[in-house]
């Protein structure tokens, strides 16, 4: 959570942030932050998942994000991994759809007619769903990672 190696880290008391580096000085109260019940519930769940108290978790996340923003980093490692997994899934689905469209085209070209209209309609529905899902993913990326 800070720039010290594991060997240089002072011990952390469970639920709290790491100690401030000796040259950074003592931490001081700087502000009071207000949350809705929904925001606080989300914070307490995320803090518990990281084994931290909510206030310590918020302070650590805020500091990490400030450092990242000041350094010009747009995405953190976890967000990039999630994005890559989602994009791989979309690519796999689109590859499968391409195979289905080739099958439908092969039948239509060999017979001169489309005998399996229900199958063709199912493929078109699948294409529509993937396009809609891709649009939602792009919109999520815009809202989540827009500078």
pLDDT tens for residues 31-69? 888 999 999 999 999 988 888 889 988 998 888 888 877
Which pLDDT score, from 0 to 100, does residue 1 have?
A: 44
pLDDT tens for residues 56-109? 889 988 888 888 778 776 666 677 778 778 888 888 888 888 887 887 778 777
Contact 100, 123 (CB under 8 A): yes
Whole-angstrom Cα distance, residue 121 to residue 67?
51
* Residue 51 CB contacts under 8 Å (≥ 6 apart), including other chains: 14, 15
Bridge partners for 15 per DSSP = 52
Sign of the CA dihedral running 66, 67, 68, 70: positive
* Higher local confidence (pLDDT), 15 or 95: 95
Which helix (H) or strand (E) covers residue 98, if one does?
A: helix 77-111
pLDDT tens for residues 123-141? 778 888 888 888 887 777 7
Contact 20, 9 (CB under 8 A): no
Q: Is a pLDDT exceeding 50 seen at residue 4? A: no
């Amino acid at each position: 959570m800070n720039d010290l190696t594991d060997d240089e880290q002072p011990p952390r008391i469970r639920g709290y942030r790491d100690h401030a580096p000796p040259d950074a000085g003592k931490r001081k109260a700087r502000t009071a932050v207000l949350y809705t019940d929904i925001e606080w519930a989300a914070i307490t769940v995320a803090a518990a998942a990281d084994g931290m108290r909510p206030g310590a978790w918020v302070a650590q996340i805020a500091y990490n994000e400030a450092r990242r923003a000041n350094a010009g980093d747009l995405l953190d490692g976890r967000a990039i991994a999630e994005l890559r997994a989602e994009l791989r899934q979309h690519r796999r689905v689109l590859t499968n759809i391409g195979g289905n469209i080739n099958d439908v085209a092969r039948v239509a070209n060999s017979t001169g007619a489309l005998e399996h209209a229900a199958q063709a309609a199912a493929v078109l529905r699948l294409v529509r769903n993937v396009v809609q899902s891709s649009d939602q993913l792009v919109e999520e990326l815009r809202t989540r990672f827009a500078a």
